[in-house]
Amino acid sequence: MNRWKNILSFLAIFGIIIVWTYVFRLALLAPPFAVSAYLISVEHRGRFSKPDSLIVSYVAVILSTTLLHILLGTGVIQLYLNVVIISILITFTRFKHPPAIALAVFSYIEHNDVKFVESSIIILIVLWLADLIHHHYVFLADESEDKEGK
């Protein structure tokens, strides 16, 4: 596997994430999504970078954060409860994507519910599409080159 292709893929995805987080003025949401971009490009389809894990864990964060903000507010106890919920999800299910815990924390630092939900959904779609593109044009291409070289 060509590591240069992977790192360039990561940098392209990260660039899109930076632009979107600045468009929504939620720059603190970039770190967990940046880690996800790295995992799907450099550690493609590994233990913590499977597309279904990424989607389920981030959707769980979006839902739990929104519900906790609406029902209980945005205090430290709510933050802790949200991290507990997400930690349990990624520990006891097959949907293991640890950057989701970071998103749960950052969602309390940047607690604008509408912007958080909108930007998170858009970036999640970007990550999902990036994974598909990376899989078809980088990962599978490298695999076929490896087979031809043998």
Residue 148: the pLDDT is: 65
Given a cut of 80, whether residue 49 has pLDDT beyond it is: yes
Residue 27: the pLDDT is: 87
Max intra-chain CA distance, the chain: 59
Residue 146: the pLDDT is: 64
Domain that holds residue 144: 3-149
Within the chain, where are the H helices? 3-23, 30-42, 51-72, 76-92, 99-109, 113-134, 140-149
108 closest CA partner among 141, 81, 137:
81
Residue 44: the pLDDT is: 87
Confidence of residue 145 (pLDDT cuts 50, 70, 90): low
Task: List Cα–Cα distances, 11 to 5, 66, 70, in angstroms.
Answer: 10, 30, 35
pTM comes to: 0.89
Q: State how many domains the chain has.
A: 1
